[in-house]
Amino acid sequence: MTALTIVAHIEAHPEKIELVKSELTKLVEPTLAETGCIQYDLHQDNNKPEQFLFFENWETRDLWQDHMKTVHIEAYKQAVEGAVVSFVVHEMSKVS
């Protein structure tokens, strides 16, 4: 089993920053309770408040993929439909 680090960049429409922030924040508690979740940190850029970043660590890629199918992820997607400019996910493996 290889651990997986996820770096997810989310950009909100400027007029939807607070909505996106609120919905992203709702993901933290249930995600931390999921099997395989080691770390799930949400960040907001200090100079560009429309920019958010999740820094995540998972025991395995399969467990992260299970996370992406959860009820709370689906609820987030519905709640922010049309409010997000871009969502980019980087799947990373530790080199050293």
Tens of pLDDT, residues 38-89: 999 999 999 999 999 999 999 999 999 999 999 999 999 999 999 999 999 9
Q: Residue 32 — pLDDT band, cuts 50, 70, 90?
A: very high
Tell me the average pLDDT across 8-12. Answer: 98
The kind and range of the H/E element at 86 are: strand 84-92
> Helix (H, G, I), strand (E, B), or coil: what is residue 48?
coil
Question: What's the token pair of residue 32?
Answer: 């931390």
CATH 3.30.70.100 fits 4-92, yes or no: yes
pLDDT score, position 1: 64
